[in-house]
Amino acid sequence: MSTIEILRQAMAQQMEGQRAKAERVYLQVLKEEPDNPDANHLLGLVRSQQDKDEEAVLLIEKAIALSPNASAYHHNIAGIYRRMGKLQSAEAEYRRAIELKPDYGEAYQGLAEMVKFSHGDPLLGKILSQLESPVLRGNTKACFYFAAGKYFDDVGDYPSAFDHYSMGNNAADKTFDAPSFNDLIKNCIYQFSPRSIRKIGGGGSASEKPVFVLGMPRSGTTLVEQILASHSQVLGAGELNDMKYIAKFGSHFVNPKQAYPNFLPFLAQQHYQRLASEYLRRIEELAGSHLASRVVDKHPLNFQFVGLIFSMFPNAKIIHTVRHPLDTCLSCFFQNFSRGQHYSFDLGTLTSFYLGYQRLMEHWEMLYPGKILTVEYENVISDQENQSRRLLDYCGLEFEAACLKFYETERTVKTASFKQVREPVYRTSKNRWKNYQRELMPVAKALNIPIQSPVKITGINTLGV
């Protein structure tokens, strides 16, 4: 078998989640052919997935030196530079990828997310020209639509922006199992009742290390995590999938075929202790040598697991970020999520998802009064110091001035808010929905928001914000 075929098979394994197997293949190829550009590039992607970005950059830079006209190398190193906060390098690499491959939709979208367009930017002509191509399909076409939407939003042509974002969402062709999600919400509310949590009692672990920042995506979770992660005793772990794993792992104590949360009534206190130990093992392994007394898991969809979290960690800190509902929904609809947020690609489905999330958070607030700290995004950007102090106080941490200069903290940021957390408080996204009042009328109606008057977030306890 040729080296190309070996690498192709390993890359398929990597894409299927078998990263360790692929890594062994890449290392073996490089042992025999240290100057193989594809092996250097692919191992660099593995290192990036392992959060070893410095090593990833060195490997892909070597691949580029060996094969400078490979557009994928430039695109992928741009994404790593972006997460690291090296935004000028990222922009240059995105532009180089586009030069080498004029129909590279992902590179256009990546670049568009980084720059502020002005009228007459020549990139728009290239984008619209590509959209006229009859061979453009699927996610590539969606990327060009999202890039065009960003241009029109930047220059203030809001009807054209919304049209292009809508076409991008449609082209992405994502589906979401809304009935299953609705069942999950109902089952969580049914299984977690005052009676059930009294039965669990103080089960689990007394550890105060886990901190969960959750809510809707695009509601300020990354900003809150960045403020906390700027503290010397806090590790910002990013969006971990560990609670999803823990919820699935818990079913094995009872019935592996029974989905969360329906197996929970059959768990004993020792089972919650086991689950807590497993979660702590995973985050402590992630922390490594970092002397952190708090580890922040900012996966927004952990709002599904609040009851399970408190059953495992009665002393856990849960921070719920909220933002104007229309700004939240608009920002989700305008984001071409690469995975995990399929509900956001249809405005009606997105609205339904928001209502389910809101209903469940109201239930958690009722069930655990005073234990969840709710933080409004708009208050953080208008009164950063007081809100930062409030966050730190809730987490049992002394104030540190570095938290006010969160944008200077050097750490990898993998979410769509990569740019916002590299700058002082980012105010341009506040009340963005007002540019799209006509288009958002159905959302406002479903959420019972009078669109012509100031909106107050209702039904959620803001604990004195």
Q: Report the candidate in 397, 253, 429, 224 with the shortest Cα–Cα distance to residue 319.
A: 224
- More confidently predicted of 217 and 419: 217
Task: Work out the angle at residue 449's Cα, subtended by the Cα atoms of residues 214 and 446, and round it to the nearest 5 degrees.
Answer: 80
432 pLDDT band, cuts 50/70/90, is very high
Pairing type for strands 294-297 and 372-376 reads unpaired
Q: So what's the pLDDT on residue 424?
A: 59
E strand spans, 246-340: 294-297, 317-322
Q: How far is CA 334 from the centre of its chain?
A: 14
- Among 169-183, 188-202, 312-326, the minimum mean pLDDT is found in 188-202
Sign of CA dihedral 456, 461, 464, 465: negative
Q: What is the DSSP letter of 449?
A: -
Whether the CB-CB separation of 91 and 111 falls below 8 Å is answered with yes
Instruction: Report the alpha-carbon distance of residue 417 to residue 255 in Å, rounded.
Output: 39
Q: What's the rounded Cα separation, in Å, for the pair 244 and 94?
A: 33
- Distance from chain centroid for Cα 207: 26
pLDDT band at 427 (very low <50, low <70, confident <90, very high): low
- What is the model's pLDDT at position 462? 34
Burial 329-340 (b: 16+ CB within 10 A, else e): bbbbbbbbbeee
Confidence of residue 339 (pLDDT cuts 50, 70, 90): confident
Taking residues 91-113, what's their average pLDDT? 96
Give the pLDDT band of residue 28 (cuts 50, 70, 90).
very high
Cβ neighbours of residue 185 closer than 8 Å, sequence gap 6 or more: 356, 359, 360
- pLDDT-derived band at 301 (thresholds 50, 70, 90) equals very high
CB 235 within 8 A of CB 296: yes
- Residue 459: exposure state from Cβ atoms within 10 A (0-12, 13-18, ≥19): exposed
pLDDT classification of 464: cutoffs 50, 70, 90: very low
Instruction: Sheet containing 210-215: give its strands across.
Output: 234-236, 294-297, 210-215, 317-322, 372-376
pLDDT (0 to 100) of residue 465: 26
331 and 222 Cβ atoms separated by less than 8 Å:
no
CB-facing half-sphere around the CA of 53: CA atoms within 13 A:
17
Q: For residue 179, what are the CA distances in angstroms to 183, 351, 353?
A: 6, 14, 10
Instruction: List the domains of the chain with CATH numbers.
Output: 1-101 (1.25.40.10), 110-173 (no CATH), 178-446 (3.40.50.300)
- pLDDT category at 463 given cuts 50, 70, 90 is very low
Contact 422, 87 (CB under 8 A): yes
State the average pLDDT for the chain.
89
Stretch 35-40: mean pLDDT, rounded? 95
Task: Band the pLDDT of 289: cuts 50, 70, 90.
Answer: low
Predicted confidence (pLDDT) at residue 421 exceeds the cutoff of 50: no
Phi and psi at residue 319, to the nearest 5°: -110, 120
Residue 1, Cβ neighbours under 10 Å: how many?
A: 7
What angle separates helix 384-394 from helix 221-229, to the nearest 10 degrees? 70
CA angle 346, 348, 349 (to 5 degrees): 65
DSSP state of 423: S
214 membership: H or E segment, kind and range: strand 210-215
Neighbours of 275 (CB within 10 A): 25
pLDDT exceeds cutoff 60 at 417: no
Residue 426 has pLDDT above 80, yes or no: no
Q: What is the pLDDT of residues 214-265, one digit of tens each?
A: 999 999 999 999 999 999 999 999 899 999 999 999 888 888 888 899 998 8
Answer whether residue 439 shows pLDDT above 60: yes
Among 381, 333, 329, residue whose Cα is nearest residue 215: 329
Q: How confident is the model at residue 354 (pLDDT cuts 50, 70, 90)?
A: very high
Spatial separation of the C-alpha atoms in residues 224 and 203, rounded to whole Å? 29
Q: Is the pLDDT of residue 451 over 80?
A: no
* Predicted confidence band of residue 273 (pLDDT cuts 50, 70, 90): very high
Residues 6+ apart with CB under 8 A from 113: 150, 416, 419
Would you give the end-to-end CA distance of the chain in angstroms? 63
